[in-house]
Structure 1
Amino acid sequence: MLSRITIRNLVIVRSLDLAFSDGMTTLTGETGAGKSILIDALGLALGDKADNGLIRAGADKAEISATFEPAAGSAALRWLDEHDLAADGECLLRRVLVRDGRSRAYINGTPTPLASLRELGELLLDIHGQHAHQSLLHAAAQRALLDAYGGLRKQVKDVAQQYQTWRAAKEQYDALRKAGEDRANRLDYLSFQIAELEAIACEGDALKSLEEEQARLAHAEQLLKDSDQVIAMLGDEEQSVQQIVGRAAHILDDLSRLDPSLGETRELLESAGIQIDEALSSLRHYQDRVELDPERLQAVDDQLGRLHDAARKHRVEPEQLVGLLDQLRTEAETLNNADSNLRALETQIEELQKTYFDNADKLSKARKKTAKQLSKVVTESMQTLGMKGGKFEVTCTADRDRPSASGFDQLRFEVTANPGQPLAPLSAVASGGELSRISLCIQVATANCGPVPTLIFDEVDVGIGGAVAEIVGQLLRRLGGERQVLCVTHLPQVAAQAHQQLRVHKMTDGKTTETRIDSLDASARVDEIARMLGGVDITDQTRRHALEMIELAHKAS
């Protein structure tokens, strides 16, 4: 819901900070006081196009901040999470208009394109009347509302999943069939490449083993010479390490008889002698493996050369040749099995298509039944709102040649406000007042279904009065029990139904003009509704009448 709006230097508003409650709120005031400014400000906060002429005279910039409190699990919170803009469940929209520059937009303090602001705004608030953010005029929103009203959301979700699965199988089939058209040539090419790579033995750790062997063969002379020197130092010379350690161990053996504490040192030297013996043995075995073999060295060099040549040819690193060979073999196997895979996919596609169409048909029948119910409820509601003989109809036409994730139904909300006139799309309704009242009928009928938590009705009472106005107020109050409702009105019958009332008034010192909006307490509400009833001179009788209207509204609810 909308919890607060702050406005600075917008048109004739110098400074305004308003808190909102849930339920139904009315905005009242004398004609020309500027009741539309609040709606204009919300429109800007939600991404409407800005005009620098909206900046208050004498100011360099205007600023509007609107704070919303999205419900847990709401579409708005999901949107914020998906766009990395979430901020502890709060949603702050801010718009800055600059006189000598472009306007700027922010979501939770992050600079944001206007398109994103509008996208999020449609999940937070709907303005009904001759304004933007009217989701009921969009086909997708109409379909979603009908599906919600009929309790069809699970069916819709299942149909969407079935459609995606069917389409994915078709895309896989098309790709496989296209590849199969040139399959013979591709298989010849793959066979040649696979044979070439297999011939140079690029599997397993072949490259690593060859590089190690090449290093050993290339340095065989140095390896033998230097290992001979190490063997001599360790064991073959007169003063070799082996002999020196042996003599030292023998001396300590004698000394340990005199002082047993030297026994541990003697054991360490004996262990060192054993390790030296093992090192000598290992080096001699190593020398047996090292050969001066120029022919083998040349063969290894040649094989490594072929591996590097193949890597350059295929534009990969030499160590990636093993993965490339596996990839080529997999593709060849897929092409060899293409016919059986195609036949299996054809069968799968037929089954998936049948499942989709069967369930889309069921969804279409359920939608048509729901469309009749909604059409009847809204039409009946229109008769009470000054549109006698008016008719609302949800047309639901199945076009099985145009399947989609939402089924194959073409939905449209159609209406005629007067008897004898043909039905026309809701978007073609010319009168803002009629459009608002029709929207009100739809919103009341589907109060528990719509995803947008805050609704604003502007000009909802244009051209009506008396009993019809009272019914409009009752409907808005009833809708306020399910959603947050803001209504701009000049009718006391509507204002009296509100849970909260705001009053707009102008102030001037002869040089400047300023608009203020005040939240009214119980006493001030009586005075304001009395003004709406009786004009300039407010009598005790009009106050009693105003109080009676407010009390009756509370009792009725």
Structure 2
Amino acid sequence: MLSTLSISNYALIDRLEVDFNKGFTVITGETGAGKSILLGGLSLVLGKRADLSSLRVKDQKCIIEGTFRIDTYGLQNFFEENDLDYENSTVIRREILPSGKSRAFVNDTPVTLGVLSILGENLIDIHSQHQTMQLTENDFQLKLVDALANNQKRLSEYRKGLKTYRKAQKELDKLIEVQSTANKEQDYNTFLLEELEKAPLIAGVIEELEEEYEQLNNVELIMEQLSKGDQLFNDEQIGVLPLVTEMRQSLSKLVDFGSNYNDLFERVKSVLIELDDVSSELQRLQEGVEANPDQLEQVNNKLQLLYNLLKKHNVSDIAELIVIKNDLADKVFETANLDDKIISKTKGIQELQAVLEAQAVVLSKKRNSVIPQLKKKLESDLGLLGMPSASFEIKLNTAEEFTATGKDELSFLFTANRGGSYGELKKVASGGELSRIMLVIKAILAKYEKLPTIMFDEIDTGVSGEISNRMADIMKDMSVDLQVFSITHLPQVASKGNHHFKVFKTEGKERTMTNLKQLTDDERVVELAHMLSGKDLSDSALAHAKELLSASSSV
């Protein structure tokens, strides 16, 4: 419920603050007094875009603030999802700066216009000529049928399933697309993988093979030098080992003549042990070295294979080749298993589809069960509003694809004349007829849905007399369960309000200002009399106004 509206520096409004109550509130005023300005300001609070033309004084900011009672609206999840502080009495503030930028706040937390617009839709339903055209849209008509069928919970479950189904369908399409591309690359990837798997991809392998290649390629030089070394160690005349052995024997005779001789002997002895070990290693290496052309060719082939792979894949070491091999193995495996994934995903989609089909059937049955009741209610209520021959033809047809509302296509046809041809509302109903139909539909929805505050903007245009009385009765009846506003030019409607506000202009020395005030009982009599007879008040107009108010209060 809208409890307070504050507007400053907006269009013709300098500063305005007004409190509202529950029930039926009527707003009247002469043409051009600024009722549209009031609606425009309220629309900004609800998320409508603004520009500099909104500013009354161009170098000052415009501030519009609305306070709403929302404790019965069930919006706690919305506030939590958007990281907003929930308050039963929520304040929405909109600021338009002289720079042209605007800011929006919910309970002092900044929000985007998108979030504000969604919240606004849950707070106030402003009915205008534009929204009357919404009546001609299939989705709105189906919403009416679903309200009577109590399909809200079923639709919620269906839409959750539809979201899962569509997500799974997208995943399947992606898998099929990947498979199509992968199949084209599979043979080449398999070839590359097999080529890498044949290569000895081990860290350090190139260095080891290069060392082995150098040894095999220079085997004669190695054998020659090892033999020469062995000869230098073991030759009986000049060999290192015989000479050092002879030295050791000579020094052994001096060990008893002092520690310095003994130390020298030990050092020569150690040298002889090391030299003997080196000699043994030389002999061992000689025994292990032999010419092996076949092994040389194999080592060379392995090296060339690795060199070619490094060049082919444009990498610098074996580690990078190993990464490429693993990636190729994953691709080949994934491609080989795509068929299984596609089969599994298709089966899952078929199961989801079966559930959706069943849910859509239930939705359709519930809708069909209430269509006769809806048709009767619409025609009966419109008969009371001066359309006694109004008739509807409402049918459901099955669609091929799943939609957000199931698999039903609604045919909602209308004729205002007995025996007339049925047609779509937007083609056969006049503006006045559409307004009355919309009022009846809103009244029906109010019985079955928790609607927000409703503001009717001159929905009674084009009607008068007894019909306007009945339209007012419908709005007042709606206001038992929700806050209802009506901007009206008709005294019959204005007299039915629980609360009556008047929009008016005041002429200052330099500018004109729009104001809004709540009327006292006496002021209401005068306002209704003006609406009945114009500027010149007559005793009969005042009497008629009192009669209207008296009749309304006694209902």
TM range (shorter): 0.5 to 0.7
Looking at CA atoms only, which structure, 1 or 2, has the larger radius of gyration?
A: 2
Given candidates 101, 104, 107, the residue that maps to 1:106 is 104
Give the partner amino acid of 1:107. F
Counterpart in the other structure of 1:384: 384
Of 509-518 and 434-443, deviating more is 509-518
Q: Deviations over 1:258-316 (max 9, x none)?
A: xxxxxxxxxxxxxxxxxxxxxxxxxxxxxxxxxxxxxxxxxxxxxxxx9xx99xx799x
Deviation at 1:327, TM superposition (A): 7.5
Distance change >3 Å, CA 425–CA 449, structure 1 → 2: farther
Structure 1 Cα separation of the partners of residues 371 and 504 of structure 2: 44
For the 8 Å contact 2:189–2:328, the answer to whether it is kept is no
Alignment of 1:118-137 (within 5 A): 118-131=117-130, 136=135
For the 8 Å contact 1:414–1:426, the answer to whether it is kept is yes
Alignment of 1:268-283 (within 5 A): none
Structure 2 Cα separation of the partners of residues 320 and 442 of structure 1: 70
For the 8 Å contact 1:429–1:435, the answer to whether it is kept is no
Alignment of 1:60-75 (within 5 A): 60=59, 63-69=62-68, 71-72=70-71, 74=73
Structure 2 Cα separation of the partners of residues 320 and 97 of structure 1: 58
For the 8 Å contact 1:127–1:134, the answer to whether it is kept is no
Structure 2 Cα separation of the partners of residues 522 and 509 of structure 1: 28
Give the partner amino acid of 2:446. A
Q: Deviations over 1:304-348 (max 9, x none)?
A: xx9xx99xx799x99999999888766655544444444444444
Structure 1 Cα separation of the partners of residues 120 and 426 of structure 2: 20
Give the partner amino acid of 1:10. Y
Deviation at 1:447, TM superposition (A): 0.6
Counterpart in the other structure of 2:142: 143
Deviation at 1:488, TM superposition (A): 0.9
Aligned length: 451
Give the partner amino acid of 1:123. N
Whether 2:18 is the aligned partner of 1:5: answer no
For the 8 Å contact 1:25–1:501, the answer to whether it is kept is yes
Given candidates 544, 547, 555, the residue that maps to 1:545 is 547
Alignment of 1:106-505 (within 5 A): 106-108=104-106, 117-131=116-130, 136=135, 138-181=137-180, 182-183=182-183, 186=186, 189=189, 193=193, 333-400=333-400, 402-411=401-410, 414-417=413-416, 422-426=421-425, 432-450=431-449, 452-505=451-504
Deviation at 1:117, TM superposition (A): 4.5
Alignment of 1:89-104 (within 5 A): 90-96=90-96, 98=98, 101-102=99-100, 104=102
For the 8 Å contact 1:466–1:493, the answer to whether it is kept is yes
Of 139-148 and 495-504, deviating more is 139-148
Distance change >3 Å, CA 190–CA 527, structure 1 → 2: farther
Q: Deviations over 1:345-381 (max 9, x none)?
A: 4444434333322332332333333344323312221
Distance change >3 Å, CA 124–CA 194, structure 1 → 2: farther
Structure 2 Cα separation of the partners of residues 160 and 371 of structure 1: 22
Give the partner amino acid of 2:364. S
For the 8 Å contact 1:45–1:66, the answer to whether it is kept is yes
Q: Deviations over 1:428-462 (max 9, x none)?
A: 68855443322110011111444640211122222
Counterpart in the other structure of 1:274: none
Deviation at 1:176, TM superposition (A): 3.9
Counterpart in the other structure of 1:42: 42
For the 8 Å contact 2:25–2:484, the answer to whether it is kept is yes
Distance change >3 Å, CA 509–CA 177, structure 1 → 2: closer
For the 8 Å contact 2:5–2:66, the answer to whether it is kept is yes
Structure 1 Cα separation of the partners of residues 154 and 85 of structure 2: 30
For the 8 Å contact 2:193–2:329, the answer to whether it is kept is no
Q: Deviations over 1:230-249 (max 9, x none)?
A: xxxxxxxxxxxxxxxxxxxx
Give the partner amino acid of 2:486. C
Of 350-359 and 493-502, deviating more is 350-359
Q: Deviations over 1:449-490 (max 9, x none)?
A: 446402111222223233222211111011112222110123
Deviation at 1:28, TM superposition (A): 1.9
For the 8 Å contact 1:41–1:64, the answer to whether it is kept is no
Distance change >3 Å, CA 321–CA 491, structure 1 → 2: farther
Q: Deviations over 1:116-139 (max 9, x none)?
A: 554443333222232469765654
Whether 2:33 is the aligned partner of 1:33: answer yes
- Stretches of structure 1 lacking an aligned partner (at least 5 in a row): 208-305
Deviation at 1:151, TM superposition (A): 0.8
Q: Deviations over 1:369-394 (max 9, x none)?
A: 33443233122211212333233455
Q: Over the residues paired in the alignment, what is the CA RMSD in angstroms?
A: 4.5
For the 8 Å contact 1:128–1:436, the answer to whether it is kept is no
Three-state SS of the structure 2 residue aligned to 1:376 is helix
Distance change >3 Å, CA 545–CA 74, structure 1 → 2: closer
For the 8 Å contact 2:5–2:18, the answer to whether it is kept is yes
Q: Deviations over 1:488-509 (max 9, x none)?
A: 1233332232222212233335
Structure 1 Cα separation of the partners of residues 390 and 354 of structure 2: 41
Structure 1 Cα separation of the partners of residues 152 and 426 of structure 2: 25
Of 42-51 and 437-446, deviating more is 42-51
Deviation at 1:91, TM superposition (A): 4.5
Of 12-21 and 437-446, deviating more is 12-21
Structure 1 Cα separation of the partners of residues 138 and 321 of structure 2: 54
For the 8 Å contact 2:396–2:410, the answer to whether it is kept is yes
Distance change >3 Å, CA 369–CA 73, structure 1 → 2: same
Distance change >3 Å, CA 84–CA 367, structure 1 → 2: same
Distance change >3 Å, CA 326–CA 528, structure 1 → 2: farther
Structure 2 Cα separation of the partners of residues 133 and 117 of structure 1: 23
For the 8 Å contact 1:382–1:391, the answer to whether it is kept is no
Q: Deviations over 1:13-58 (max 9, x none)?
A: 32211122222211123444333332232234334465655544x6
Of 7-16 and 474-483, deviating more is 7-16
Counterpart in the other structure of 2:23: 23
Structure 2 Cα separation of the partners of residues 186 and 73 of structure 1: 61
Three-state SS of the structure 2 residue aligned to 1:399 is strand
Of 327-336 and 501-510, deviating more is 327-336
Distance change >3 Å, CA 479–CA 201, structure 1 → 2: farther
Distance change >3 Å, CA 393–CA 189, structure 1 → 2: same
For the 8 Å contact 2:176–2:342, the answer to whether it is kept is yes
Of 112-121 and 18-27, deviating more is 112-121
Three-state SS of the structure 2 residue aligned to 1:379 is helix
Distance change >3 Å, CA 322–CA 71, structure 1 → 2: farther
For the 8 Å contact 1:34–1:505, the answer to whether it is kept is yes
- Stretches of structure 2 lacking an aligned partner (at least 5 in a row): 205-305
